[in-house]
C-alpha cells in the first residue's frame, strides 16, 4: 500500500520486489504462436479493456502483478481458490483500497491521523486546508471534485512533474482490470499455455502478452504453420500474429473471414450445408436454363437450316 501511494504521487521508485530477481526470460516465440494468438482472440480481453493497449497502463499493471504473485504456480493457486475477481482484489489489497486510492481517500489506508502529508501536492490544485486533513480531503473529492482542476502539471516533493488526473485514472484502470474476469482468465490460461508455473517474472509475462513486437509481425521470422485437430483435420480458425481467419476442410482461407485482434465467426456445419445446398440449387437451375437454351438454339438452327434449304430450292426451280 505504501508503494502504491508513493507511485501515485512520486512516480516509480526503482525495483521494489521483495523476492529475489529471477533470470527467467520469456521467449516471444511462445507468445507469437497461433495457439497463443487464438487465446487472446477468444478471450475478448482487448475489446473489454482497450486501455490495456496503452503502454503506461500495461507497465503499471505488470508491476502490480509482479508484487502480487511471486510465481506463476502461486498465481494459479490464488486464482483457482478465488472464482470472484472482486473478492480476489479485496483479499489482496484489503477491501476497497485501490478504489479509495483512486478517489484520493486515504483514511482507510493510513488512518485518520496518519503522519503522511500531501499538502505540497494538493495545495497546487487549490486545496490548502483539506490537504492536511485526510478526512476532509476524502470528503472534498467526494463532494465537489468536479470543480478541481487535476488535469495539470504540478511538482512533487522532488521537483518532478506529475499529473494527478492521469495518475488517478491509471489507478482506477488497474482496479477495473483486476476485477475483469476476462483479464484474470486470460492470465491464468497464458501461464498454463506458456508453462510459466515456475516463472517468477509475471510482470514480464504480462508485457509479453500485449507487446506488439516485430517478431510477431514478421512473416519471415514466424512462418505460418497450420493448426490441426487431434484427428488430423484443419482447425476451423487459423491464426498468425494478431490476425485470425476461417478455413475450409482443405485448409484454404474463406474469403472475407480474416479479422485482427478478435476471433472470426465461422459458419456452423448447418450453415455450410445450407450454403452448399443453395449452391447446388443454383447450379441445377443454371444447368436447366443452359439445357433449355441449348434446345432453343438447336431448334432455331433447324428452322434456319430448313428455311435456307427451301429458299435455295425455290431459287433452283426458278
pTM (whole model) above 0.95: no
**How confident is the model at residue 57, as a pLDDT?**
73
**3-class SS of residue 175:** helix
Residue-number span of the structural domain to which 316 is assigned: 267-318
Asked whether residue 154 falls in the same domain as residue 239, the answer is no
- Together in a domain, 244 and 276: no
Residues 113 and 159 in one domain: yes
Q: How far is CA 129 from the centre of its chain?
A: 43
- Give the per-residue pLDDT at 214: 40
Instruction: Please check whether residues 188 and 39 belong to one and the same domain.
Output: yes
Residues 37 and 185 in one domain: yes
C-alpha distances out from residue 199 to 59, 128, 186, Å:
18, 47, 17
Residues 235 and 129 in one domain: no
How remote is the C-alpha of 296 from its chain's centroid? 61
* 55 and 131 co-located in one domain: yes
- At 2 the pLDDT is 62
Give 228's Cβ-side CA count (13 Å radius).
Answer: 6
Same domain, 144 and 251: no
Count of the separate structural domains present in the chain: 3
* Residues 7 and 62 grouped into a single domain: yes
The span from the CA of 60 to the CA of 25, in Å, is 19
Residue 196 and residue 283 share a domain: no
Q: State the pLDDT at residue 221.
A: 46
From CA 198, how far away is CA 90, in angstroms rounded?
A: 26
CA-based nearest residue to 61, from 213, 166, 207: 207
How far, CA to CA in Å, does 56 sit from each of 12, 93, 173?
12, 21, 11
Sort strands 161-163 and 237-240 into parallel, antiparallel or unpaired.
unpaired
Say yes or no: 168 and 68 in one domain: yes
Please name the residue ranges forming H helices in the chain: 2-10, 28-31, 34-43, 45-48, 55-68, 72-81, 85-93, 97-102, 107-110, 119-122, 134-144, 164-178, 181-193, 202-210, 214-217, 269-317
Q: Give CA angle at 11 (10, 15), nearest 5°.
A: 120
SS3 call for 253: strand
Q: List the CATH number of the domain containing 229.
A: 4.10.800.10
Same domain, 256 and 273: no
Angle at 186 (CA atoms; ends 81, 260), nearest 5 degrees: 165
| β-sheet bridge partners, residue 234 | 228
Per residue of the chain (318 residues), give pLDDT as tens: 666 566 556 555 444 443 334 444 444 435 566 666 666 666 666 666 777 666 677 788 888 888 888 888 888 888 888 778 778 777 777 777 777 777 777 776 665 555 556 666 777 776 666 555 667 776 777 655 556 777 788 877 777 788 878 888 888 888 888 888 888 888 888 888 777 788 777 777 777 766 644 445 444 445 677 888 888 889 899 887 667 899 988 888 888 888 876 778 888 888 888 878 887 887 777 777 777 777 776 777 776 666 665 666 665 665
pLDDT for position 246:
92
- Radius of gyration of the chain from its Cα atoms, rounded to whole angstroms: 33
Amino acid at each position: 500500500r505504501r508503494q502504491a501511494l508513493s507511485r501515485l504521487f512520486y512516480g516509480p521508485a526503482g525495483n521494489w520486489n521483495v523476492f529475489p530477481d529471477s533470470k527467467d526470460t520469456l521467449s516471444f516465440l511462445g507468445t507469437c504462436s497461433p495457439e497463443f494468438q487464438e487465446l487472446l482472440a477468444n478471450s475478448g480481453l482487448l475489446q473489454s479493456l482497450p486501455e490495456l493497449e496503452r503502454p503506461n497502463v500495461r507497465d503499471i499493471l505488470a508491476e502490480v502483478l509482479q508484487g502480487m504473485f511471486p510465481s506463476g504456480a502461486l498465481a494459479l493457486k490464488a486464482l483457482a481458490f478465488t472464482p470472484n475477481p472482486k473478492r480476489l482484489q479485496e483479499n489482496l489489497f484489503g477491501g476497497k483500497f485501490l478504489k479509495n486510492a483512486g478517489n484520493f481517500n486515504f483514511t482507510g489506508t493510513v488512518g485518520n491521523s496518519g503522519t503522511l502529508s500531501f499538502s505540497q501536492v494538493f495545495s497546487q490544485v487549490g486545496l490548502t486546508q483539506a490537504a492536511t486533513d485526510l478526512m476532509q480531503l476524502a470528503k472534498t473529492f467526494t463532494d465537489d471534485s468536479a470543480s478541481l482542476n487535476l488535469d495539470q502539471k504540478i511538482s512533487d516533493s522532488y521537483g518532478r512533474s506529475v499529473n494527478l488526473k492521469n495518475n488517478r485514472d491509471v489507478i482506477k484502470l488497474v482496479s477495473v482490470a483486476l476485477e475483469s474476469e476476462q483479464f484474470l482468465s486470460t492470465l491464468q490460461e497464458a501461464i498454463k499455455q506458456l508453462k510459466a508455473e515456475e516463472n517468477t517474472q509475471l510482470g514480464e509475462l504480462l508485457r509479453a502478452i500485449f507487446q506488439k513486437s516485430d517478431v510477431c509481425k514478421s512473416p519471415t521470422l514466424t512462418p505460418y504453420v497450420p493448426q490441426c485437430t487431434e484427428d488430423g483435420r484443419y482447425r476451423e480458425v487459423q491464426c498468425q500474429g494478431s490476425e485470425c481467419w476461417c478455413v475450409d476442410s482443405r485448409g484454404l482461407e474463406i474469403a472475407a473471414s480474416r479479422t485482427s485482434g478478435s476471433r472470426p465467426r465461422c459458419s456452423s456445419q448447418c450453415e455450410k450445408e445450407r450454403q452448399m445446398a443453395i449452391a447446388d440449387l443454383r447450379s441445377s437451375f443454371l444447368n436447366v436454363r443452359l439445357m433449355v437454351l441449348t434446345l432453343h438454339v438447336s431448334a432455331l438452327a433447324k428452322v434456319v437450316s430448313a428455311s435456307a434449304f427451301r429458299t435455295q430450292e425455290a431459287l433452283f426451280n426458278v
